[in-house]
Structure 1
């Protein structure tokens, strides 16, 4: 062993020394990195947590809990003789509200608090509506009669509207295009849930696609019914809710998974996802004089 060590020469020991130095530097670098990560985690843990999203509590006056086919719902029946319904998307700056919470805060700041707000139709990644949007008599997005993938294009789809006469309706989209009603507020979505008392022809009785869902139905010109499930439900069962339990001859699916309902000051269901078009309910103000 002594002879073999003597034969290696000075370059061998220089290389060993360099390797030892590099190992020490590498180990020090790892130690510094671990310390930096630990400090970052400690700093992050000391940051104040965001306020929790309050969901639940007592329901607003127009709403009640309904059980149907083993699924719980919040159902809100709106009398248009005492309440107003509008469809909204963007604030005065032209930017989408983006969420029910932001919309509620904006309305409160304007001195126009709302009773209820619900996500009111499907949207693209930039929150622009996929279909028709009429906000306070101004068309912000055109009627979409194209074919495509996804629930919106599961024909027939439809339009929920409030006419300039204050009456509500849910119309199949092509019928809307033909009739061209005089509209104050409107939002397009799809598919239709109930069409003149009949369930959408493409629905299975109780399909395997299950999500928290929300929709809107019209019982008559003065009565709008908003419903949102508290747990996952199929489109077939959701459609039967509107037809069989809520008495709506026409009803429209608004969205699934991102569905949410607020009571003006707090969330009732959902609220964790963005919102494009928003359906708003507010109490009518007494006539002056």
Structure 2
């Protein structure tokens, strides 16, 4: 609760300072139905959104600090980051993964165990000045030219509707994170809950509060956020794919 209240204070301070505060991505605290969320809004016309998995020695980064250290050696730094999809024990992506235009894992279209296989699932597709959450079968049909892509599941919101398998009375509550995109692809909303929420509650936050037509679950329980403007750099279990906004290190 304290972390959420602190984030709310910082978010309000940023809003009041306005143009005097230059940030690549804006993170604020919001609430819905008694649950707290941190929302980081990425402006694809201004921000440099990328995916990260392995370093130059082919070793998975695993933590935000490793990604930031790599970027700082290049004169850049992380402005925001979040875990970006499910992964195996060796931290290889469970589903489709593209980095710098190179496919590292194919698209998985069949149902399976766990949240990833709870179809429909989807793909986060990052292109120049645009980012879209696309349902997997639609993604296969459209064949978008993604500079970066990560597949996860289940979808939270599909064409403005909640995933059909979500239960209002579910008792499964976890810290969860996900991403939703605006219809024009210009804004991506990365969200992490500040307390345990059900899939139904999480999906409704994207649909009813952020009002995005498409949203994708990224993971639960191990969810992590890196938001320096909030004084936040979550640590914990080693991660697989990481999504982040990069800015100049000056």
Which TM-score band applies after superposition, normalised by the shorter structure? 0.7 to 0.9
The answer to whether 1:133 aligns with 2:97 is yes
| Distance (whole Å) between structure 1 residues aligned to residue 141 and residue 248 of structure 2 | 32
Change (3 A) 1:266 1:109: farther
Determine helix, strand or coil for the equivalent of 2:78: coil
Superposition pairs for residues 145-164 of structure 1, below 5 Å?
145-163=109-127
Equivalenced residues, count: 231
Q: Alignment partner for residue 116 of structure 1, among 80, 84, 90? A: 80
What's 1:218 paired with?
181
Unaligned runs of 5+ in 2: 15-22
Partner of 1:104: 68
1:185 aligned residue: 148
Give the Cα separation in 2 of the matches to 1:152 and 1:267: 31
Cα shift at 1:284? 7.8
Normalising by structure 1, what TM-score? 0.75
Bigger proportion of residues as helix: 1
The CA distance in 2 between the partners of 1:154 and 1:119, in whole Å, is 19
Partner residue, 1:208: 171
Output aligned runs, 1:57-76, within 5 Å: 58=10, 61=23, 62-76=26-40
Tell me the alpha carbon deviations over residues 9-61 of structure 1, each in whole angstroms, 9 at most, x when there is no partner.
xxxxxxxxxxxxxxxxxxxxxxxxxxxxxxxxxxxxxxxxxxxxx99764685
Q: Does 1:142 align with 2:142?
A: no
What is residue 159 of structure 2 aligned with on the other side?
196
Residue 18 of structure 2 corresponds to which residue in structure 1? none
Following TM superposition, where does structure 1 have runs of at least 4 consecutive aligned residues deviating by more than 6 angstroms? 54-57
Q: Higher relative CO (CA 8 A, sep ≥ 6), structure 1 or 2?
A: 2
Which whole-Å deviations, capped at 9, do the CAs of 1:140-170 have from their partners, x for residues lacking one?
111111321100000000001112x431111
The answer on whether the counterparts of 2:80 and 2:246 sit within 8 Å (CA) in structure 1 is yes
Structure 1 vs Structure 2 CA RMSD:
2.2
SS at match of 1:113: strand
Structure with max Cα Rg: 1
TM-score (norm 2): 0.86
